[in-house]
Every structure is written in C-alpha cells, then in structure tokens.
Chains A and B, each alone.
Chain A
Amino acid sequence: MLVGVSVLLALVVNHLSPRGIDLVGQWDTAKGVITANAADENEYRIAEIDRVTDAAKIFYDGDTLFVDARSLGDYESGHIPGAISLPVGQFDEHIESFMNQYPLDQPIIAYCSGRTCEDSHHLARLLLEAGYSEIRIFIDGFPGWQAEGYPIE
C-alpha cells in the first residue's frame, strides 16, 4: 500500500508541479544535450549548434561573441580564443559590467563542458531574460572544440 501511495503521489505531484519533468527524458548525448525535460525549461527554446564545424565557421566569421558559462577556474585552464567568462553561478555579479560592454543586439554563443552540461542553457536563458536576443548554444562546448583540434587559449 505504501508503494502504491508513493507512486500515485509522485505522478500527481510531478504532473501538477511547474517544475515537473517529462516521464521520459533525453539522456542520449548522441542526440544532444542531456535533459530531464523540466516543464519550466520547455518555455525556452534556444537555437543549438550541434556541429563543431558550424561553431568554428561562426568563430572565424568573427562577429559573434563566445561566452563561457563554466567556472572561472575552468575558463582559465583553457577556453575558446576571445571568449568572455560569464560563470552561470556568478551571473548576477557580472551581468552589469557585461551589459555595459556589449549591446543587446550582440550575437552571442554560449558554451560550457559539452553535452552533459546544462550551464550554457541556463546562461542563455539568463541572457535572454536580461534582454539579449541573438543567442545560440554550442552544445559540444569546450571539450568538443578542443577534441577537433581548434585553437584554444
């Protein structure tokens, strides 16, 4: 009986909760960034770049700002050349100076540690809420970039 009550309660609360998740998530990195598909995240659909070569083409075009959502320590250990560090955990501390430097129509690509990392998605959402509109996410992130042999600094 306790098991039945628990399962029923779990399914009902999950269904009614604004932070509930789908019954089946996306956990295959070959298909994209892993996610439980939370209801509140489905409000935002941000364009993803799922091929390193596409990210590299944008990088060499030179108009787009790459923003690193990882911790400062990870950023300092190596990042895409020219990328700006904006750790998602310290967004509030850094957003004001970021906004003073970059206009709201600045094309931005957010990245983090690859397809098991959601920080770039969280950062992209925060930037959207701050008013930036030209945002995409490079889902293979720094590990994908580095693995393909593109320059790092």
Chain B
Amino acid sequence: MNNFKQKIFNNSWIELAARWILGLTFVYSSIPKILSLDDFARIVYGYDLFPHVLINLIAIIIPFLQLVAGLALIAGFYPRSAAIIINVMLLAFTAALMINIIRGHEFDCGCFSAGQSGYAGSSEVTVARDILYFLCGMLIILFKGHRKSFNGGLSSQRSP
C-alpha cells in the first residue's frame, strides 16, 4: 500500500496532471471575477463574514491570486508555492461555505462566476469539489520527484 502511495506521489505525469487541472480551474474561475469586480464584491458581501471595510479589497485581490497561482502551476513556476496559495484559498473557501451551511445561510459561492449564477443551495457539492482540489494541491506540495516542465518541450526538472 505504501509502495502504491509512493508511486502516485512520485509520478511526474500525475503531478503534471494535478498541476494542470488545478491551474486551469483556477485561471478559468478567476476570469469572470476579474471582468466584473463589482459583482464579485457583492458575492463576497453575501458570505456575510467579512468586515465591510475589507470586502472590496478581498474582491480585488482574490481573483488575481487565483490567476497568478493558476498560471504558475500550469507553467511549473514555483509550483509548490502556488499550490500552497491555492490550498490556503481552498481551505478559506471551504471554511466560509461550511459556516454558511451550518447557519443555514443561502448564498452564491461565486466559484466560477461573478454574477447571479444561481449557484445558491449547492454548497455541499462545492465543499466536496474543493476537497478534491485540495488533494490535488497536496499532491503537488508533497511531490518529491522530477517535475515536468516546458524547457523546450516536456522535460523533467528537480522539484523546487
């Protein structure tokens, strides 16, 4: 079993797939937010968790954190740091979702949109999905082998 785990955690193709899945997902989810920061700010307000003075700043910075960390994962640029940033964000999103599920607060998670996506009410699915992404992030963080990167094609390099 341990051998199997090691094979998974040290397989550079699986690590590459995890980086691309996570990277593309976060780049894709950042774009509608960046294009509509005011709508995303309303979604942040809808979480009903943050001080009013921070809502706009959160709405301005989070989408760009998603974009930069996502692009870094795809390019293999500081992949461990990017995965840590993404996992911290996933933990924060999941905690915010759980708090709202527990208190029965219906709201739009704003996960892949910045507008009225009608996503309210499916928070449990979102939490399950975030856990899967978190596991992808852990795989990237714990990877100890040679990472695939684009140095004139898909070559391997030592994990930074």
Report how many residues on chain A are interfacial, defined by Cβ distance under 8 Å: 28
Can you name the residue of chain A whose Cβ is closest to the Cβ of B46? Answer: A116
Q: Is A27 part of the binding interface, using a Cβ–Cβ cutoff of 8 Å?
A: yes
Q: Is A1 part of the binding interface, using a Cβ–Cβ cutoff of 8 Å?
A: yes
Asked if B61 contacts A10 (CB within 8 A), the reply is yes
Give the CA-CA distance A38 to B65 in the complex, in Å: 21
Asked if A25 contacts B64 (CB within 8 A), the reply is no
Interface centre among A20, A22, A36 (most CB of B within 10 A): A36
Asked if A19 contacts B68 (CB within 8 A), the reply is no
Q: Is B78 part of the binding interface, using a Cβ–Cβ cutoff of 8 Å?
A: yes
Asked if B37 contacts A38 (CB within 8 A), the reply is yes
Q: Is B109 part of the binding interface, using a Cβ–Cβ cutoff of 8 Å?
A: no
**Majority SS at the chain B contact face:** helix
Asked if A5 contacts B68 (CB within 8 A), the reply is yes
Asked if A36 contacts B59 (CB within 8 A), the reply is yes
Say yes or no: A10-B82 contact (C-beta < 8 A), given A3-B65, A36-B42, A38-B37.
no
Asked if B57 contacts A6 (CB within 8 A), the reply is no
Q: Contact residue range for chain B? A: 20 to 34
Asked if A19 contacts B52 (CB within 8 A), the reply is no
Q: Is A9 part of the binding interface, using a Cβ–Cβ cutoff of 8 Å?
A: yes
- The distance from the CB of B118 to the nearest CB of chain A, in whole angstroms, is 12
Give the CA-CA distance A113 to B37 in the complex, in Å: 22
- The distance from the CB of B90 to the nearest CB of chain A, in whole angstroms, is 16
Q: Is A2 part of the binding interface, using a Cβ–Cβ cutoff of 8 Å?
A: yes
Q: Which of B38, B55, B64 contacts A13 (CB 8 A)?
A: B64
Say yes or no: A36-B41 contact (C-beta < 8 A), given A1-B81, A23-B60.
yes
Which residues of chain A come closer than 8 Å to B42, judged between CB atoms? 34, 36, 118
Can you name the residue of chain B whose Cβ is closest to the Cβ of A39? Answer: B38
Asked if A6 contacts B69 (CB within 8 A), the reply is yes
Give the CA-CA distance A82 to B20 in the complex, in Å: 56
Q: Is A24 part of the binding interface, using a Cβ–Cβ cutoff of 8 Å?
A: yes
Which residues of chain B come closer than 8 Å to A95, judged between CB atoms? none
- The distance from the CB of B54 to the nearest CB of chain A, in whole angstroms, is 9
